[in-house]
């Protein structure tokens, strides 16, 4: 029989590791956030900042040239590498030693960007989180799923999931199809929604945190940053996904008594991350 596990505080605490007193930024992991295109650089800012605020020691953003001033100004803690091209990504060239990569937010789907993603996937062996246009490009090139690093984390919302695995008629059929897909390609699928479900090795995890305040632009970009930040700290991929989804939802639960549902925006997820992580240390 399949296992169905609710992600509650005890499941999160089981996985959470406080930061060691003698740690330093080198030990906290270096994450690369690859994404952005003209008009969608905010997605990278949100991801990079969430990644830092989840404990990653170093974060570099890899973006098209036009986003340089934006990311340097909005997230001064992050380093920035730029593509040769101005408005979208055409290659992913770096010589960094990395512990995790978050890929795809705001990236667009230009054909040059397809090529860049293919060459990147062929060369890359670093733990990977793929979101948004990274998923959309994969959906157009399904044979590339074979070259993903094992246990890559995919974070589709329902529409992105449908592009990836095709149509379903019931939630049961969707879950069956996601399980088959996850097993075939040895990936972890975070099916974002209300509630978010995580499918990993034939186990379905159902998140218990979060609310409708998260129905706001950029909240998925923040989740990708959080999961990438945890992956950079050597959390096993499933643990990074489970803990990431839990704290992401918890920020909204903690915030709503103060912000209400309407005024809560993706930056507030980042703002409340400290309070959310603190609940796990108590
Ligand atoms: N500030 C920035 O820079 C931001 C940049 N962003 C970047 O923009 C790019 C495009 O991403 P995207 O998700 O907006 O476009 P897309 O995949 O076509 O999905 C849209 C359609 O999907 C559906 N849908 C979505 N969620 C659903 C759900 N839970 N449950 C059910 N359906 C759902 C819904 O379809 P409908 O229901 O209207 O048929 C909706 O109209 C991407 O790179 C992203 O990173 C954004 O992150 C925003 C902030
Ligand atoms: N009504 C809701 N209840 C709980 N979580 C929600 C709700 N609406 C959206 N979310 C969460 O917000 C995030 C939205 O991600 P996504 O659609 O990728 O946003 P974006 O692309 O704008 O960053 C997901 O983590 C999803 O689970
Ligand atoms: Mg998204």
CATH number for position 69:
3.40.1190.20
Q: Candidates 7, 162, 219: which one to mutate for ligand 2, based on the most atoms within 8 Å of Cβ?
A: 219
Ligand 2, atom 9, residue with closest C-alpha: 215
Q: What is the ipTM of this complex?
A: 0.96
CB 63 within 8 A of CB 83: yes
Distance 54 CA to ligand 1 centre (A): 24
Which residues span the domain enclosing 247?
Answer: 3-281
Ligand nearest to the CA of 34: 1
Distances (CA, A) of 271 to 19, 208, 224: 19, 20, 16
Strand order in the sheet with 100-103: 3-7, 203-207, 197-200, 187-191, 152-154, 128-130, 100-103, 30-34, 58-63, 79-82
Residues 6+ apart with CB under 8 A from 8: 208
Residue 46: left (phi > 0), alpha (psi -120 to 50), or beta?
Answer: alpha
Q: Which pLDDT tens digits describe the chain residue by residue (282 residues)?
A: 579 999 999 999 999 999 999 999 999 999 999 999 999 999 999 999 999 999 999 999 999 999 999 999 999 999 999 999 999 999 999 999 999 999 999 999 999 999 999 999 999 999 999 999 999 999 999 999 999 999 999 999 999 999 999 999 999 999 999 999 999 999 999 999 999 999 999 999 999 999 999 999 999 999 999 999 999 999 999 999 999 999 999 999 999 999 999 999 999 999 999 999 999 997
Query: In whole angstroms, what separates CA 121 from the centre of its chain?
Result: 17
Nearest to 31 by CA among 227, 223, 228: 228
192 CA → ligand 2 middle, Å: 6
Tokens read off for 42: 């905010």
Nearest CA, atom 20, ligand 1: 159
Closest CA to 192 of 145, 146, 130: 130
- Ligand in closest contact with the CA of 159: 1
Nearest to 113 by CA among 80, 152, 85, 139: 85
Residue 64, annotated as binding a ligand: no
Mutate to test the pocket of ligand 1, among 159, 167, 174, 214 (most ligand atoms within 8 A of CB): 159
Q: Which atom of ligand 2 is nearest to the CA of 222?
A: 23
What local confidence, expressed as pLDDT, does residue 1 receive?
Answer: 57
**Which atom from ligand 2 is nearest to the alpha carbon of 155?**
18
Q: Is 76 annotated as a binding residue?
A: no
* pLDDT the model gives residue 282: 76
Ligand 2 pocket check for 91: Cβ under 6 Å: no
* C-beta of residue 182 within 8 angstroms of C-beta of residue 154: no
Q: What is the domain count for the chain?
A: 1
- Any ligand 2 atom below 6 A from CB of 212: yes
């Amino acid at each position: 029989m399949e296992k169905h596990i609710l992600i509650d505080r005890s499941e999160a605490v089981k996985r959470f590791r406080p930061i060691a007193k003698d740690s330093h930024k080198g030990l906290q992991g270096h994450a690369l956030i690859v994404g952005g295109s003209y008009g969608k650089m905010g997605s990278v800012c949100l991801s990079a900042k969430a990644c830092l605020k989840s404990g990653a020691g170093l974060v570099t953003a890899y973006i098209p040239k036009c986003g340089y001033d934006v990311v340097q100004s909005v997230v001064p803690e992050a380093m920035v590498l730029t593509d040769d091209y101005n408005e979208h990504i055409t290659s992913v060239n770096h010589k960094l030693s990395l512990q995790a990569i978050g890929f795809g937010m705001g990236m667009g789907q230009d054909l040059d960007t397809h090529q860049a993603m293919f060459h990147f996937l062929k060369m890359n062996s670093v733990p990977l989180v793929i979101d948004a246009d990274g998923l959309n490009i994969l959906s157009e090139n399904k044979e590339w799923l074979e070259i993903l690093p094992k246990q890559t984390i995919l974070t589709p919302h329902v529409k992105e999931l449908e592009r990836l695995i095709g149509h379903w008629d019931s939630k049961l059929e969707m879950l069956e199809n996601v399980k088959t897909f996850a097993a075939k390609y040895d990936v972890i699928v975070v099916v974002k929604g209300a509630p978010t479900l995580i499918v990993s090795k034939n186990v379905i995890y159902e998140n218990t945190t979060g609310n409708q305040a998260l129905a706001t632009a950029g909240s998925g970009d923040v989740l990708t940053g959080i999961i990438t930040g945890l992956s950079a700290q050597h959390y096993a991929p499933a643990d990074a996904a489970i803990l990431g989804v839990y704290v992401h939802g918890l920020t909204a639960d903690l915030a709503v008594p103060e912000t209400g549902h309407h005024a809560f925006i993706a930056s507030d997820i980042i703002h409340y991350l400290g309070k959310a992580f603190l609940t796990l240390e108590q």
